[in-house]
């Protein structure tokens, strides 16, 4: 059992509520302060883009850090002239908020494995405090919970939350950007998940309000070349189910070889087998938490 139960009440309050999305913890830097303090809202007056890392965080690892680091680089959003839009041209480092999103869908019916949501939230807590130090220009870093499985539903619930908790005119300019690996990107655009509706109909509103930021990964099922040309192929109409103009909202960046091999499942396997090869795949605080709490030994 975790040494702290700081997230027990907010987690179970959310599970038992009718809400489908909620921010349960935010670190924010106000004015010119370099010190992040707990805050009630993910949105600050300067926020123009929310980078959403949706994952199981089981456990959080350096691959997640790589996604966040690259998503904060403003050059990635307009390095290709076809991807220029008004909001990204003028974006500054302090205009991006970070949201770590954990899905607890059916949490009241299915016991999460291999680790509890509470333990994962504690590791996410350690992660965002580390992120606030590593990326000091990010003024707002949050932990959020959702009950949705599909990205389109997650996007709608987040936007509704923002509009309900803040004046609409203050949040209408904010762009959501989901941070994903290439395997997830392929699943998002797989037509079978939207049957009997057409993919273009199901995701049109989502793609109008949301960007997707993707890092390629080492994947034996899809070559590096096929991954790197995926967006260009969409633009050129080579994916008949995906409208070509959606390519303007997909930002695909080549990942480093070392980071692309990291996965939560491999870390869990190493821990279960007694190997220490996972120690350099997570931040020291999360490594210590996993060891002290004896996580992933079942």
| Tokens, residue 236 | 């050129």
Residue 40: per-residue pLDDT: 61
Residue 167: per-residue pLDDT: 47
Residue 48: per-residue pLDDT: 87
Residue 11: per-residue pLDDT: 94
CA nearest neighbour of 176 among 39, 50, 47, 31: 50
Asked whether residue 171 carries a pLDDT value surpassing 70, the answer given is no
On the CB side of 208, how many CA atoms lie within 13 Å of its CA?
A: 8
Residue 218: per-residue pLDDT: 72
Asked whether residue 168 carries a pLDDT value surpassing 70, the answer given is no
Q: Minimum mean pLDDT among 72-76, 86-90, 115-119, 217-221: which range?
A: 86-90
pTM for the predicted model, two decimal places: 0.89
| Tokens, residue 258 | 């070392």
For residue 197, the Cα-to-chain-centroid distance in whole angstroms is: 26
Residue 237: per-residue pLDDT: 94
Asked whether residue 174 carries a pLDDT value surpassing 60, the answer given is yes
Q: Is 183 exposed, middle or buried (0-12, 13-18, 19+ CB in 10 A)?
A: middle
Residue 111: per-residue pLDDT: 59
Residue 129 and residue 40 in contact, taking contact as beta carbons nearer than 8 Å: no
Average pLDDT, the chain: 84
Give whichever of 166-180, 208-222, 233-247, 256-270 has the largest mean pLDDT.
233-247
| Tokens, residue 82 | 């076809």
Q: What is the DSSP string of the chain?
A: --S--TTHHHHHHHHTSS-SEEEEEEEE--TT----EE-S-S--TT--EEEEEE---SS--HHHHHHHHHHT-GGGGTSSGGG--HHHHT--GGGEEEEEEEE-TTTTTS--SSS-HHHHHHHHHHHHHHHHHH-TT--EEEEEEE---SHHHHHHHHHHHHHHHS-HHHHTT-EEEEEEEHHHHHHHT-GGGGTTS-HHHHHHHHHHHEEEEEE----TTS-HHHHHTHHHHHHTT-STTS-GGGGGGEEEEPPPHHHHT--HHHHHHHHHHT--TTGGGS-HHHHHHHHHTTTT--
**pLDDT tens column, 246-284:** 999 999 988 765 666 788 999 999 999 999 999 999 999
**pLDDT tens column, 10-49:** 999 999 999 999 999 998 876 555 555 666 677 877 888 9
Residue 24 and residue 143 in contact, taking contact as beta carbons nearer than 8 Å: yes
Q: Minimum mean pLDDT among 96-100, 128-132, 194-198, 253-257: which range?
A: 253-257
Per-residue pLDDT, averaged over 220-239, amounts to 87
* 144 conformational bin, left if phi > 0, alpha if psi -120 to 50, beta if neither: beta
* 55 conformational bin, left if phi > 0, alpha if psi -120 to 50, beta if neither: beta
Q: Minimum mean pLDDT among 170-179, 228-237, 238-247, 266-275: which range?
A: 170-179
Q: What is d(CA 57, CA 92) in angstroms, rounded to the nearest whole number?
A: 28
Residue 131: per-residue pLDDT: 94
Per-residue pLDDT, averaged over 104-115, amounts to 62
Task: Give the pLDDT band of residue 107 (cuts 50, 70, 90).
Answer: very low
Asked whether residue 1 carries a pLDDT value surpassing 50, the answer given is no
Asked whether residue 3 carries a pLDDT value surpassing 70, the answer given is no
Q: What is d(CA 241, CA 106) in angstroms, rounded to the nearest whole number?
A: 31
């Amino acid at each position: 059992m975790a040494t702290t139960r700081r997230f027990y009440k907010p987690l179970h309050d959310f599970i038992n509520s009718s809400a489908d999305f909620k921010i349960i913890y935010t670190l924010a830097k106000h004015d010119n302060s370099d010190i992040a303090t707990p805050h009630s809202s993910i949105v600050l007056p300067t926020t123009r883009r929310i980078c959403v890392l949706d994952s199981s965080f089981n456990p959080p690892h350096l691959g997640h850090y790589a996604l966040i680091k690259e998503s904060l680089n403003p050059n990635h959003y307009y390095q290709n002239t076809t991807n220029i839009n008004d909001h990204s041209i003028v974006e500054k480092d302090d205009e991006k908020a970070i949201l770590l999103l954990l899905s607890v869908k059916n949490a009241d019916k299915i016991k999460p494995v291999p680790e509890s949501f509470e333990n994962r939230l504690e590791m996410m807590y350690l992660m965002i405090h580390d992120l606030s130090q590593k990326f000091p220009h990010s003024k707002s870093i949050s932990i959020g919970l959702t009950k949705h499985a599909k990205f389109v539903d997650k996007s709608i619930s987040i936007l509704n939350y923002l509009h309900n908790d803040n004046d609409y005119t203050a949040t209408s300019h904010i762009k959501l950007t989901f941070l994903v690996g290439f395997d997830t990107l392929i699943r998002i655009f797989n037509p079978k998940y939207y049957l009997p509706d057409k993919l273009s109909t199901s995701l049109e509103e989502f793609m109008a309000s949301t960007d997707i930021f993707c890092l390629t990964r080492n994947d034996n099922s899809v070559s590096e070349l096929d991954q790197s040309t995926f967006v260009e192929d969409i633009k050129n109409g080579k994916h008949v189910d995906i409208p070509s103009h959606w390519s303007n909202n997909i930002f695909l960046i080549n990942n480093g070889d070392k980071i692309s091999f990291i996965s939560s499942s491999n870390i869990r396997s190493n821990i279960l087998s007694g190997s220490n090869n996972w120690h350099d795949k997570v931040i020291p605080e999360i490594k210590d938490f996993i060891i002290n709490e004896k996580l992933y030994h079942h």
